[in-house]
Amino acid sequence: MTEISPKLQDRIDAATFRRLVSHLRNRPDVQNIDLMILADFCRNCLGDWQREAAEAEGVSLTKEEARERVYGMPYSEWKSKYQKEATPAQMAAFEKRRKRKL
């Protein structure tokens, strides 16, 4: 495995995160419920993780500010533009996944 310095690894990780966020911004058709079912995380999770990482560095972000960094707009705006009501099948799959985690 190639040796990578911690500083370079941080830059690579940051670029990877930016690409993931960009990809998700360009795929509003992919619903958060689908991400939760398949990957056990969603855009909101990314916002929460970003807020927690910022706080670990002494930077205070609200939940709304962190989510806006992920969504590229206020979450309420994204939700009204793109979020669809979860189908019964999606909710059943989500509950099944959640129960497996317990």
Across 85-96, average pLDDT: 96
Residue 89: count of CB within 10 angstroms of its CB: 9
Query: Which CATH code is given to the segment(s) 7-101?
Result: 1.10.3340.10
In Å, what is the CA distance from 81 to each residue of 37, 49, 58, 73?
Answer: 22, 24, 33, 11
Q: What is the pLDDT of residue 77?
A: 98
Tens of pLDDT along 9-66?
A: 999 999 999 999 999 999 999 999 999 999 999 999 999 999 999 999 999 999 999 9
Domain ranges of the chain: 7-101
In sequence order, the 6+-apart residues with CB closer than 8 A to the CB of 15 are: none
30 burial type by CB count under 10 A (0-12 exposed, 13-18 middle, 19+ buried): middle
